[in-house]
Each structure stands twice: as C-alpha cells, then as structure tokens.
Structure 1
C-alpha cells in the first residue's frame, strides 16, 4: 500500500503543468498555443520589495538569533549553578556506587596524622568563606570529651579529658579552665551563646553564665589562665567541689554557675540538648525532661505541656511521655525531637516550617505543646525502625534502617538546601528521602556478602548538616564525611572549593597540619633521604605532610590510641608537678553552629 501511494505521488509530480494563460475551466489537454505571428512579451526583471529577504537569508538570521539566545541562557544558568549546586547526583564522579569511591594510602595517612596531632579544626565563622579548615592553636594537643561553639561571639566551650570546663573567647586565646573537678561529660549552648549547660558524669546539670566568666577571665593574670593538669588527681577522687579547686570557686563566687533543679531524685540525667530558649534532657530510665532557659522558653510549647516557671530553670518531666521509653533526644531552635527505644519518632514545639512532620496536606498547626508521632507515610514497619535523629534550626534529619537497608530522611525547612534532596524548597511537613545517602552498599570481606552502608553520626547547625558514614571494613582508612546546606561562611568546606550552598550531600576537603608542623616534617624527610614505596609499612613512617589537591576527600578517624601531654593524671606527673605523656583512646567528631563547623579529637 505504501509503495503504491509513493509511486502515485511521483507520477503526479512528473505531469506537465498547465500553461500560464489557460482558462481555469479549460482542460489542460486542450489549451491553445500563442499564434506564430504574435511576438512573445518580454518577461520583466526580478525586482523584489526592499524589505523582502530570500529564504536563505532568513534562515541564517534565525540560526544566529537562536545561537545568541542559547549562549545567553547558558551563561545565566551557569551563574545560577555556580552559586547553588543542585544538579550533581554524586558529590564527585568516581568509580563505585553513588557517593562512594575507593580510598588510597594518602587518605589513610589522614587517620594516622589525626592521632599524632590532637586538636580542633574549624570551617566557617571568620574564615571568609574559605573551604580549607584552619587549626585552632588554643586547643593544640588537647583531647576533648565534648565541644560546643558559637559563631557570633566566637566562643568555644569544651570539656577536656579530665572533665574540666574550658572556655576560649577566640580561636587563638589560651583556654580558661573553670569548674575543675566537676567531671563533666557534655556541654551545650543556649540564649545566643550567652548560657552554657554542662552535664556531669554523676548526672548533675549546671547552668553557666558565660558573660560573667568572660568578664572575669579578662581580669585574671595570664599565669592563672592555664590548663591545670595538676588538679586531675582531685578530679579522679571527685573532690573538686569539696576543696574548692580553682575555677569552681571563682564561678560560684561570681554567681556564674548554679545547679539546675531536678524534680526526681531516683534518676540521673544522661543526656542534654538545647534550643534557643529551652533545655531538653533524658534520664537513665528513658524519661524526658524540659526546662526554660529564657522567659520565652515555652513560647511555642517546647516544654511539652509542663507547668514550669519560665523565669526559673528547673527540669520537669513531659507528662504525655511518662510511659514512653526514650533512647535519644535532639532539640532544634524552638522544637524538640525524640526517638523511642522501639524506633518511633515524636516531635513537639514550633511547627513554622513543618518540622514536626505531621504530614497534613490541607492545613497544619503552628505549634504543639503535646508530642506528636512523626508521619513517615507507610515507610515504617516491623522490619524498619528509626535508629538516629538530629535537629538543627527548623530541620530534622533521621535514619530508617532494616536488616538489609539504610535510608536517610529529612523534614522541615530547606531554604538553604539542608533537606539534602537536591532542591532548595521553603519547607516540607512530611519526611522526604535524602537519595544520595540512602540504600548504599558495599562488599564485606568478613561476611562474604554485600551489606548496607549505614550512617554513623549526624551533626547539625541551623542551616547545614554533617553526616559521617560507618566504616564496615577497617579503621585504617577512616570514615567518609558528607555535608550539605548553607555555605555562606564556608562552613561546608566543600572538596570542590566552591562557596555556594549545596542541596545535595558533597564531600569535604581534607584538613592540613599547621604550616610550622608541615615545615618540621619536611625537614625530617630531607634527613631521611630515602625513597618510600607505597606499601602499608612504609606509609606508616611517612610524615603527615600533604597538599589538598592530592588528598581527595576528608576521612575522619575512628576509635584509636593517641598520645597527649594534657589532661588525665599520672602519679609521677602529680608528684613532680608536671605533665607526663599519656595514652588516650580517641576518635574524631563534629560540632556545628550557625555558619561554623568544627572537627575535634573526642575522648572515648
């Protein structure tokens, strides 16, 4: 049939057309030619209109206009992408699964170096958007139990290996030791960095006025502003409060430190988290407590229905959670999130950006003073439970795990890309999947099968997130780190060096040793004057000097032994009045705040 139609079209196209002067009703086969005695009229010369262009010219104009439009559009899109990277599925294109690649000996060198130089590295804050981290000299060779940072006041509040509170008002000043002998384990900040809350190993919570301590430290002689390892024997015996160790007495005399009231004597507090105006606490039996830290501590219902006095900091149990056993707590700016022992998630407080995860489509609530269960839209089940939560600003990040899979979800504000979904959206009131970090797998030589890659920890600031993956094979190569969200201060430390925000998880640039340490190590290399082959034994003897371009991405160290000259105690050191080198068990951990990220050596 098609062949017949084609031949017909060809036949019609070859027929002779009728003459130009034939009558419209006259058959084309009966037309009459001009008489032979009539001269043919001369055909006029072609003279097109002055505004008329031949088809070939018009075609060229259209092609040129299209090319110019394409170039302009591409340029505008390039500028937009340069400022906000949203199109990358994987952080860096390398072989392997999405977001995962092989590591080399140089990256293993990071792990070894982190145990040779204990301390704190910081991205953001006053670094003018630099992607490379800087070493904080104030905490050189200081392993920490915990670290809390504030961006605006440049305050660093830490707990050293002996449980003393250390305060540093900028990254170069020597830390001021306070609350010596209190044996602290955890510290958090509230009220814009003006207040600190510290948790002791015995379950006591202390409220610390940082403004008063800062004013006091400015008047103390430099000789008194020191790390005091000689008091560690007092710490060991738990007698710091009895003997009035330096720092404890000063804080009490100034009225800068007081115990937070606790209504139940039969329990002890095991974990604390803080918002801008409230404190969240977890007891040894799994009970949840809240307390106001300012007069606005219950403005959005963040106290959970308690009748606490906003003008007094006293921990009170959340009434509706008395029969719930809680395993983990996390506080955002004005809301709370908890994970129960059986893997459920409950939230309460402000819901301005849908961070409570109610999942309501037609309408929603502004806040709730009663804990509400997070709605995962059927993603939860007998074989899938929530195993990790984190809160920051107005966003929540969670992991849902089963025996065969691990997924990451987010809910709440996403204006800076902190939802990690690849889109900069204002908010979402239902959990959405972070695809880059979900359903990742690796082959386990130990188990001889493919196993899921799970998330080890999540740390959040108000606008950005840091996630560390578990290393299922060995501690030699460290753990992968991913960041996403706001990068206005350079807090992401992106491996690609870009300063824009990221709505997808990307890798972090590796930290470098301070210049002086690099130069000293380079001298040692010159002394050795020998070639090292790329074997495991030789790498162990290499000095930790490298360039960021040759290091790939950041690999943080898991648990391992390190040597320090600070903190702890030894009988010899105490008797001689000096600090002796000692071995500590540490790993690297993160702390986040508004526009700043810190990596520190955490004592285990």
Structure 2
C-alpha cells in the first residue's frame, strides 16, 4: 500500500507585495515570471491563488504555492511545450520543439472552457464560448491566435482529420468547421444570396462556412460529450445513447471497427463509409453509458454500473483483450472482463470509475470494493514506456496494473482514504495523470501531477529527450537558482508540482487542467 505524502513550500502569505512575494519565492528556489496586478477579475477562495508561473528547467509552469490573486492574476493563462513544427504549440515561435513549458502571450490572464492541440491546428474555447484557432494548418501566416467562431456558446471542441467539431453549451448542436482558414471563408452561392437579401434590412457580416452535424435526438435529449480518434467520432447523449461517425470531409474505404457498427467496416470502393453521417451503436441500446473515450482507431465506453466495452483496432491489445487473428479488430462493443484481473477467488467486487484512451492505449481506473482500493490498469502499446510499469513492451492485451498509481491512500482527519484519478490525458507516446487529492485544512486543492512515456519532442516538459517508463512528478526547481534550494542528505528536496482549483468572481469553478496532444502538452485554467 502506497502512502502519498505532500510537502509544499509556504513562500507567501496574504498581504505580501509583489517584491516580497518574489523575494520569498526565490528563497524556496522558485523564480517568478510575472508580478503584475490583476486585470481579468479573477479571485480564488480565501483570496489566494495557486496558479502562478514558475520554471522547470528553463521554462514556465503553474505554481501551487499561495500567492495573492491581485498580485499574480496575469500568470493565469495557457502554457505549452513539445512539438511545434506546425506552430500548434507556440504560434510565432521559429522553434520546432518547445523544450520546457512556455506561456502563449495571447492567453495571458485568460480562462478557457476547452483546449485541444492538434497535429496541424490547435483550438481553444474562451470563457464566453468563442472558438479561437492557430497553427499552420489554419493559416501559416498567422502568428497570433484568431477568433474564428463567436456567439455560438461553445462548451467543447475536438479535432479529427483537420476538422473541428464544436459542441454548444445547450447540447443541441455540433458544428463541423474546416480547419483551414481558406476553407472556412468559402461561401456557397445559395448562402451568399440569402445573406445578401437579409443584409438589405439588417447589418451584414461574413461568417465562416460551417455545417451542423445531424444527431437524431429524442425529445428532451441533448448531447453530453464528443470525442474523436484519427478518423472517427463518438457522441454521448443525456439518455446514455452512443452514436459514431467518420470524421473529415472524405469517405473512408475501410475502418477497423471503431464505429461499433459492423456494416460500416467498409471493405472496398463499393462500400465507402460516408463522412459525418451519424449512426447509433444499437448494440449498446438499453445500457446507460456515462463516459466515452477514443484512441486513434479504437473506442471505449463505460456504463453507470462500472462496466466497460471496447471496440475497434486491437493491434496492440488496446481493447483490453489479448491479440489473436480473430481479435485483430472487433467491430461490436465487447465487455472487458475487469473482474478477472483480480485472481482472488471471489474477493474482488470491481467497478470501473474512469476510462481514458489515446493513441494505441487504454486506461481503466478500477475500484476493488472488497479491499477498498482503487487501481489503475493499462493495455495497448508500451514501446515508449506508456504503461508506466518501468518496462518497455511492444503490446499488452490483458490489462496490467500501474503499481505506482494503484492502492494510493492519504490521511485526512486522521483517517486513511483512497486517492482516485481526477483525469488522464494521452498522446501518441506520452501520458499525463492528475490525482484527485483531498482538500487541505484551509480548503485548498493541490492535485498531484505525473507524466511519463515518450519524450522525443520534449512533450514531458523537463527539457530532456529521454523516455520515462514510470509516472514521474514534475519538480519546481530552476537551474540557475539550484543553490538556493534546501538540501536533505546532500540531495535537493523534491518539490512536486501540483494543480489546483478556485472560484471566479462570477462564482464559477476554475481549475488547472492538463491536456496532451499527439506530441505536445498544455496546461490551462478551465472554467465551467
């Protein structure tokens, strides 16, 4: 049983000025980047903020030490690192790789509803629901993110095949938006004529071209979530129904079963699967699905009773079942026997609490009720250390336990309790996990952040290219200020990076969130 202990540097207190804050932070080995007054009306509970910027290696990251909100508000924003060859990480930079976390100036002080890093384009949803875009796939001449869709109250955005899918806050519409700026500005003759007619009587502004995805919803039913893989999308409704569709604008000659509908396999040119045509996964009818996830070519769903179904490609065992000729791909949702993971002769009562998928991997957070423990299991590719077990394995069918993130406990009010998984984000080769640690005595939330896996494009944010095969905390010390760090037994004290949450002045919950692109990573402040 692992006991998680947390030690934080108490560098600041209420009432400290910017200069005093900076001085005390330096004593703890932390160099602040900004100390400007608040400009965006943000305040955390008890007038504290745990979201300043500090450096890892030579880059910026979120700081979870208490800093007065009025002093450090400008440090809230978006921080990105990793592959930048298509300018999706740091627009305006000439570097193909951002080695350590850096702030995007456009988002300084901004809170977001969502953020997605794509291969050719990146997209953010602002606090008021506008869509912002950048990257060479959008327009190689644009060096500053641009608003591409306003006034639609977007709550969620995903990217697949250079197409953006944006979900409205009401859950009544999903917009399909081409990633290219040139295609966005294309207007067909009929639409142009209609807009010209109405502009005679009202103000006229040219809108980008987009279309609405037709999801056959029932009365009072809404769309709750949308996720995408390399060529497909999954859609979850408020009634627990799941739909799937091919993404992009071109038909697909063949699929790997990730749509969950056998007749949509598409085997040749005579059996093309049309794009953006939504199909219900009828095999899941009568089952209330509460969570969906998508890898590159596979899909995962979880129901309200904690059961998990997978379908699609199983080339690396990512469906949670061993690879054979018969199970190379599975076109129908198949139940993952998670109870068999515990060879305890009836001593296990398992419930899956959380699922995550990305690339060729699937993660399952499973609660063993009889032992009162929560374990993290993984299946799929592990060639770059994605399993987090310390080993590099080409493939893994039957899920294996990530021991360092299983059975975690912490003491709260002298009582031991489980530490569940808050979120998992997965790239092609790397993984980021946030633990849902309990609140401290003063109500602060300091969630532990761990990253591991491939690091060929510095996507782990530590300034190195070596792969990490075990979950690793992010340290907060700075190379130039190393001599100012406290030492223990001749070694530097490990100061772990954490993510936190708070409340805006509008009464909305805001939390620091990490998201992985295929070869890059970002941290931003998410508002709901």
TM range (shorter): 0.7 to 0.9
Name the structure 2 match of 1:260: 213
Name the structure 1 match of 2:359: 393
Which one of 285, 299, 319 corresponds to residue 282 of structure 2? 319
Name the structure 2 match of 1:304: 260
Query: Is the CA contact (8 Å cut-off) linking 1:297 and 1:303 kept in structure 2?
Result: no
Secondary structure of the structure 2 residue equivalent to 1:378: helix
Distance verdict in 2 for CA 1:343–1:99, change over 3 Å: same
Aligned equivalents of 1:201, 1:511: Cα separation in 2: 40
Name the structure 1 match of 2:503: 561
- Indicate the structure with greater strand content: 2
Which one of 130, 153, 163 corresponds to residue 183 of structure 1? 153
Name the structure 1 match of 2:393: 425
Q: What is the CA distance between 1:442 and its match in structure 2?
A: 1.1
Is 1:208 matched with 2:180?
A: no
Q: What is the CA distance between 1:415 and its match in structure 2?
A: 0.8
Alignment of 1:436-475 (within 5 A): 436-445=404-413, 448-474=414-440
Q: What is the CA distance between 1:550 and its match in structure 2?
A: 8.3
Secondary structure of the structure 1 residue equivalent to 2:433: strand
Name the structure 2 match of 1:375: 337
Between Structure 1 and Structure 2, whose CA radius of gyration is higher? 1
Q: Give structure 2 stretches of 5+ with no counterpart.
A: 12-27, 29-49, 53-62, 85-94, 187-201, 265-271, 479-491
Distance verdict in 2 for CA 1:325–1:213, change over 3 Å: farther
Q: C-alpha offsets along residues 319-371 of structure 1, whole Å, 9 cap, x if unaligned?
A: 211121101000110110011110011100111111111246x7652111101
Name the structure 2 match of 1:102: 7
Displaced runs of 4 or more, over 6 A: none
Aligned equivalents of 2:174, 2:184: Cα separation in 1: 23
Q: What is the CA distance between 1:302 and its match in structure 2?
A: 1.4
Aligned equivalents of 2:152, 2:374: Cα separation in 1: 39
Q: C-alpha offsets along residues 187-231 of structure 1, whole Å, 9 cap, x if unaligned?
A: 00101xx111111112211111011457759xxxxxxxxxxxxxx
Alignment of 1:107-122 (within 5 A): 110-111=63-64, 112=66, 116=73, 117-122=75-80
Distance verdict in 2 for CA 1:420–1:129, change over 3 Å: farther
Aligned equivalents of 1:511, 1:276: Cα separation in 2: 37
Q: What is the CA distance between 1:503 and its match in structure 2?
A: 1.1
Secondary structure of the structure 1 residue equivalent to 2:319: coil
Aligned equivalents of 2:499, 2:417: Cα separation in 1: 21
Superposition TM-score, scaled by structure 2 size:
0.72
Query: Is the CA contact (8 Å cut-off) linking 2:7 and 2:495 kept in structure 1?
Result: no
Is 1:589 matched with 2:513?
A: yes
- Indicate the structure with greater helix content: 1
Aligned equivalents of 2:258, 2:10: Cα separation in 1: 48
Which one of 350, 353, 356 corresponds to residue 316 of structure 2? 353
Which one of 271, 289, 293 corresponds to residue 243 of structure 2? 289
Q: What is the CA distance between 1:307 and its match in structure 2?
A: 4.9
Aligned equivalents of 2:424, 2:107: Cα separation in 1: 23
Q: What is the CA distance between 1:167 and its match in structure 2?
A: 1.1
Secondary structure of the structure 2 residue equivalent to 1:358: coil
Distance verdict in 2 for CA 1:213–1:550, change over 3 Å: farther
Secondary structure of the structure 2 residue equivalent to 1:138: helix
Query: Is the CA contact (8 Å cut-off) linking 2:3 and 2:410 kept in structure 1?
Result: no
Query: Is the CA contact (8 Å cut-off) linking 1:103 and 1:477 kept in structure 2?
Result: no
Query: Is the CA contact (8 Å cut-off) linking 2:2 and 2:407 kept in structure 1?
Result: no
Secondary structure of the structure 2 residue equivalent to 1:436: helix
Distance verdict in 2 for CA 1:284–1:181, change over 3 Å: same
Query: Is the CA contact (8 Å cut-off) linking 1:292 and 1:298 kept in structure 2?
Result: no
Q: What is the CA distance between 1:244 and its match in structure 2?
A: 8.4
Name the structure 2 match of 1:198: 166
Distance verdict in 2 for CA 1:426–1:587, change over 3 Å: same
Aligned equivalents of 1:259, 1:215: Cα separation in 2: 14
Distance verdict in 2 for CA 1:214–1:557, change over 3 Å: farther
Query: Is the CA contact (8 Å cut-off) linking 1:306 and 1:316 kept in structure 2?
Result: no
Distance verdict in 2 for CA 1:157–1:135, change over 3 Å: same
Q: What is the CA distance between 1:597 and its match in structure 2?
A: 0.4
Query: Is the CA contact (8 Å cut-off) linking 2:316 and 2:397 kept in structure 1?
Result: yes
Distance verdict in 2 for CA 1:160–1:296, change over 3 Å: same
Aligned equivalents of 2:384, 2:517: Cα separation in 1: 15
Name the structure 1 match of 2:16: none
Name the structure 1 match of 2:34: none
Name the structure 1 match of 2:39: none
Name the structure 2 match of 1:250: 207
Name the structure 1 match of 2:229: 275
- More displaced stretch, 463-472 vs 398-407: 398-407
Query: Is the CA contact (8 Å cut-off) linking 1:390 and 1:459 kept in structure 2?
Result: yes
Secondary structure of the structure 1 residue equivalent to 2:275: coil
Q: What is the CA distance between 1:377 and its match in structure 2?
A: 5.6
Q: What is the CA distance between 1:551 and its match in structure 2?
A: 8.3
Alignment of 1:482-521 (within 5 A): 482-494=450-462, 498-510=464-476
Alignment of 1:122-141 (within 5 A): 122-126=80-84, 131-141=99-109
Query: Is the CA contact (8 Å cut-off) linking 1:165 and 1:179 kept in structure 2?
Result: yes
Q: What is the CA distance between 1:470 and its match in structure 2?
A: 1.1
Q: C-alpha offsets along residues 95-132 of structure 1, whole Å, 9 cap, x if unaligned?
A: x9566542222496723459722210012123666653
Aligned equivalents of 1:147, 1:511: Cα separation in 2: 27
Is 1:415 matched with 2:373?
A: no
Aligned CA-pair RMSD: 3.2
Query: Is the CA contact (8 Å cut-off) linking 2:439 and 2:445 kept in structure 1?
Result: no
Is 1:344 matched with 2:307?
A: yes
Equivalent pairs, count: 417
Q: What is the CA distance between 1:391 and its match in structure 2?
A: 0.5
Aligned equivalents of 1:359, 1:441: Cα separation in 2: 31
Aligned equivalents of 2:123, 2:477: Cα separation in 1: 22
Secondary structure of the structure 1 residue equivalent to 2:207: helix
